[in-house]
């Protein structure tokens, strides 16, 4: 990508889009554009097409999505499938119609079957049943991958897809019930520390294994792929390492400085037993993550304190 090219980042205020926008500017890309949801409703086809016709971006990064943890996916399944399908259809088609040179679509590791072999290789897509708690969201993301591949085949576009693992970092959603595991733990331990509680309750058994990637590392990987990858097959983005929820809880406990104990609420669902990505394709292209887990959690907690008070 030329440093002066106009790059549209859909979802530029979110956890992923915000990190990508900051990463692009840090690397010297001077013409990065985006619109808030109040300024541009990405679920409305006419608004999206009018925006592309007016702005004429040369490149597009589709980081906008409705996202959430187990509770949110279980509670709002219709919203998760409808909103994500609408956003994807509108932006991918508008990018084609208005001659975008290259588009990057961000999916999610939940696209893989619930019991896929670990670590999960890209070719495991659609080889088994999905995790029921987030099936509508996963189906929307799978549709996005297939849409990009189909446009490439029929129209000769260069629309690439990436599948990031679980993310965390500055700009995350810390909602008490609708957030992902790491921000939920940060909020829970911080509030327990502030309230002087003796223990913190963590959902599930603590045994499921998860892979976490710092959002600024994801941004760096996306920019790298925009410059070095034109393939039709999607690419996993992660660390290639995973830990149990119990281990993450212990790390957050230490970073926050909570002196009490951890209890596990086994009445709550665990979700997928393990989600570890095989990142050999990405590593083979020459990219690896830089942020350690401890440093990343410390920076995420700093962001939480800055936004919600210490």
Give the separation between CA 93 and CA 45, rounded to whole angstroms: 9
The H or E element that residue 55 is part of is: helix 45-55
Give the separation between CA 90 and CA 195, rounded to whole angstroms: 46
Q: Give the contacts of 102 (CB within 8 A, at least 6 positions apart).
A: 1, 59, 60, 158, 159, 160, 226, 230
Backbone angles phi, psi at 235, to 5 degrees: -125, 130
Question: Is 137 an annotated catalytic residue?
Answer: yes
Catalytic hit among 8, 51, 137, 151: 137
| CA–centroid distance for 112 within its chain | 15
Buried b (16+ CB within 10 A) or exposed e, 91-115: bbbbbbebebebbbbbbbbbbbbbe
Give the separation between CA 36 and CA 20, rounded to whole angstroms: 15
Give the separation between CA 28 and CA 109, rounded to whole angstroms: 30
Cβ neighbours of 207 (radius 10 Å): 12
Least Cα distance to 201 among 215, 211, 213, 191 occurs for 191
Cross-strand partners of 212: 166
Give the separation between CA 254 and CA 110, rounded to whole angstroms: 29
Give residue for tokens 């406990």. Answer: 253
Which residues form the catalytic set?
A: 137
């Amino acid at each position: 990508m030329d440093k002066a090219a106009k790059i549209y980042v859909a979802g530029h205020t979110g956890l992923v889009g915000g990190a990508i926008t900051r990463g692009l500017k840090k690397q010297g890309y001077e013409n990065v554009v985006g619109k808030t949801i109040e300024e541009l409703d990405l679920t409305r086809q006419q608004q999206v097409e009018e925006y592309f016709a007016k702005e004429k971006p040369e490149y597009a990064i589709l980081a906008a999505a409705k996202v959430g943890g187990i509770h949110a996916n279980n509670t709002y399944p219709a919203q998760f499938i409808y909103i994500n399908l609408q956003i994807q259809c509108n932006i991918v088609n508008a990018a084609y119609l208005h001659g975008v040179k290259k588009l990057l679509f961000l999916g999610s590791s939940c696209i893989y079957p619930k019991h896929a072999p670990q670590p999960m290789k890209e070719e495991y897509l659609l080889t088994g049943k999905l995790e029921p708690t987030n099936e509508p969201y996963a189906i929307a993301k799978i549709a996005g991958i297939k849409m990009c591949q189909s446009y490439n085949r029929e129209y000769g576009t260069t629309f690439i897809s990436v599948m990031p693992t679980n993310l965390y970092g500055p700009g995350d959603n810390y909602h008490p019930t609708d957030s992902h595991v790491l921000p939920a733990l940060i909020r829970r331990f911080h509030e327990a520390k502030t309230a002087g509680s003796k223990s913190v309750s963590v959902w599930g058994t603590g045994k499921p294994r998860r892979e976490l990637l710092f959002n600024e590392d994801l941004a760096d990987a996306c920019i790298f792929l925009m410059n070095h990858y034109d393939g039709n097959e999607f690419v996993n983005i992660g660390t290639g390492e995973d830990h149990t929820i119990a281990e993450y809880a212990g790390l957050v406990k230490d970073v926050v400085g909570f002196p009490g104990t951890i209890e596990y609420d086994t009445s709550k669902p665990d979700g997928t037993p393990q989600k570890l990505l095989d990142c050999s394709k990405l590593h083979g292209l020459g990219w690896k993550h830089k942020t350690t887990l401890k440093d990343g959690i410390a920076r995420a907690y700093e962001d939480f304190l800055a936004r919600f008070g210490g």
